[in-house]
Amino acid sequence: MSTLDILRERFPGRVALTPKEIAQAIHGDAAATKKRVESIREKLDAGTLIPGIRKGKGEKRWLVPIDALARALDDRSRPDDRPVLPPALVPVGRRSRMTNIGPRMLKWMERSRVVLRDILAEVSVLVSLDEAAILQGVADLTSDHPRKRGPIM
């Protein structure tokens, strides 16, 4: 049974197929997902699924003749006489270590610099207040202020 016979049996009375029907014919009903239908459309647009086929002038949808699809599928399944060559190795370059950090990173660095400056200013105020309290405590101990004190040892 040829591919054309299978397509005619599967789609009786149809002369042309839509990309969705082509996806069903190639991948099966369950596997004809939106992604695969879109892939069929892209292959039709690029001319790789059925070489030489074009949309009619002014047509928006693809309607592919069943006999052209069967011929293309048969040609695709036939082995070529050309030898199969391994894919060429392409050297992968090393990425530069110097990169542009970009404006967003610079903005974050500036914000963190401002926050750190504010934190250090508050810490210096707290340190000076602690020093003042210590000095005040020393001043209280050395003053002649009459206050009850315990024995000094």
Mention every residue, 6+ apart, whose C-beta is less than 8 A from residue 26: 40, 73
Give DSSP secondary structure letters for 86-147: PPPP-PPPPPPS----HHHHHHHHHHHHHHHHHHHHHHHHHHHHHHHHHHHHHHHHHS----
Residue 93 has pLDDT above 80, yes or no: no
User: Which pLDDT does position 123 carry in this prediction?
Assistant: 92
Q: What percent of the chain clears pLDDT 90, i.e. is strictly above it?
A: 8
User: Which pLDDT does position 137 carry in this prediction?
Assistant: 75
Residue 150 has pLDDT above 60, yes or no: no
Q: What percent of the chain clears pLDDT 70, i.e. is strictly above it?
A: 73
User: Which pLDDT does position 92 carry in this prediction?
Assistant: 60
Structure tokens belonging to residue 19: 């990309």
Residue 90: pLDDT band (50, 70, 90) is low
What tens digit of pLDDT does each residue of 39-59 get?
888 888 888 888 778 877 777
Residue 5 has pLDDT above 80, yes or no: yes
User: What is the pTM assigned to this prediction?
Assistant: 0.48
Across 12-16, 18-22, 120-124, 130-134, least confident range: 130-134
Helices and strands in the chain, H and E counts: 5, 2
Average pLDDT over residues 71-86: 67
d(CA 152, CA 65): 113
User: Which pLDDT does position 120 carry in this prediction?
Assistant: 93
